[in-house]
Chain A
């Protein structure tokens, strides 16, 4: 146990980890404000948002459209292009680790990422791949890091000073233009439609394993800052959902529907409380068990967005992203939730969640509204959150221990 602890501490102090952690630290305030704006825009001020529906906010709030616009601007320039900042940060902190001109490296990293994701629109205006901008954080980190390393290599070479700066920039521009040309901007995970067709063509039990697998993949990928097969909120427009809804409306109850196991009935209704990885449980676990003021502070800030299933502040603030300690509970907790929920559905204790819910409905209420107010579903949701808090508990304590020990070793240096 002690050896694992020491190993993690060592890992924590490696160059790579430092670069990533420092980058995430500068991204945190941007992401936090962005997530507040996103929640306000889509949940409070847009007609099909949860709070908007429940309280009719857009109908009585003065300046609703203006506020909505402002929140939209903030959201699009923060969360929606977070990879941009990541490319800058990664390049900046890499150069800093190697004791080179960090500001220049940051600018070059930013430029390289912009070139890679450039995609002119039909009017000829500059435009950038939305996927890379909003979900390409991993790629941005790699791009920033590599740019910085190229600059460092040239900085240490025997070339004269002018070439030391110009040559690497030329090489980086050529390489990133080539990447752009080769169509890296076309990268897109187009799995959702595939998920829908799989669920429809296979038996219930196959569909169950498939949904569990895809859910786990989604959690794993979001731990690596890449968008997974399941979107962040249920859409209700895919064919199995429509079929379920139509069957339920015909029968007048959700108990007998054709597709019991879909991303909506399992993943969104039970495995996504507070965002991917049951982030709500992590927040509660930290508030109860952690003694680190920094983590407690981040968690308090993250409560508001997490209620409406926005997990960005926790992902970057703690951080959960690329954090080996939290990988296990982040993947296991949602998986256990889905398995237990599937069991309840199979035993016909709860119906499948089929009715559409508004955007940003708080996690445990998705299943509750989706079953038109089945109380056992709500109770099960609350029970699962408690269970998930217990799953997160040892890891929160471990994380505390590691950061204490890392702090001690730092002081010994």
Chain B
């Protein structure tokens, strides 16, 4: 009787072990495939968030201008997050494009700190889904107006769980009112205080560019210059590089900033990956050459 019991347990444990081994093997193969895909991915998207009251179409002009005269245009993918946490994708990744532009917009695109916190959570949902679909290991971001605030919230609250696998290289905020409509940091809004309090969570390897538009000497017509400049209290000394740039001249009004030619130039220079040198400079035998050089 005792013998039977012993054999029973031995058989049970052998069956269980074999099951565990095969399940583990399956899992391990899948996991390594995913890791390899992620590690060897050459994809490096630029993810943009528009400001309040704007839709996912906000950057269409910007992307058109970026793609002008570009032999390898950036694909444009749009993600709209509705208030029920659902994601709606449009556009697709063109084959051979390693630097797609992804715009994430929200159904609830209203102003105010509470909405920004909600939008940051929605952005996190979209971002998680994007990382799964496109398996990129680094990315760059641009936020216009409140988009920059949503990114700051995202970096301080959600990014830590990705940071070991997916590296954020550059952040550009365009006319982002870090202190809302306050002209002076003597009156800190709740949001700015929170941003400063949690700045340690922002990755220290990041390069940040804060671009301000100036229509008058102290405003872009909507956002006070002092509010944009308040970003330094969050980023300066925390990230690797923090640069503030103010732009004036035509299209320097708050809402025109995304299609301002100077800003597009800045994006080309600081945010996008350096263009691979045209083939003719690398390979003299290539006949298809010169006219494309700017």
Contacts and interface: CB of A to CB of B under 8 A. Distances in A.
Q: Do A and B bind each other?
A: yes
Interface of A: 53-55, 237, 245-246, 249-250, 252, 355-356, 361-362, 365, 368-369, 372-373, 378
B129 interface: no
Interface residues of B, number: 15
B28 A355 contact: yes
A58 to B, nearest CB: 15
Nearest to A369: B28
B20 interface: yes
A355 B35 contact: yes
Given A54-B20, A355-B32, A369-B24, 5 more contacts: A237-B164, A250-B39, A368-B21, A373-B28, A373-B29
Given A237-B164, A372-B29, A373-B29, A365 B24 contact: yes
Contacts of B21: 365, 368, 378
A54 B29 CA distance: 12
Top-9 shortest CB links A-B: A249-B39, A369-B28, A373-B25, A372-B32, A365-B24, A249-B36, A54-B23, A372-B28, A369-B24
B31 interface: yes
Interface of B: 20-21, 23-25, 27-29, 31-32, 35-36, 39-40, 164
A237 B163 CA distance: 12
A368 B28 contact: yes
A369 B27 contact: yes
A55 B20 CA distance: 11
Contact of B39 (A246, A362, A368): A246
17 contacts: A53-B27, A54-B20, A54-B23, A237-B164, A245-B35, A249-B35, A249-B36, A252-B36, A356-B31, A365-B21, A365-B24, A368-B25, A369-B24, A372-B29, A373-B25, A373-B29, A378-B21
Contacts of B20: 54, 362, 365
A250 B27 CA distance: 20
Contacts of B32: 249, 355, 372
Nearest to A372: B32
Contacts of A237: 164
A355 B27 CA distance: 12
Contacts of A369: 24-25, 27-28, 31
A372 B25 CA distance: 7
A334 B21 CA distance: 22
Nearest to B32: A372
A146 B109 CA distance: 66
B6 to A, nearest CB: 9
Contact of B40 (A54, A250, A362): A250
Contacts of B35: 245, 249, 355-356
Nearest to B40: A249
A175 to B, nearest CB: 38
B59 to A, nearest CB: 34
Contacts of B24: 54, 361, 365, 368-369
B135 to A, nearest CB: 12
Contacts of A55: 23
A355 B24 CA distance: 13
Given A250-B39, A365-B20, A54 B31 contact: no
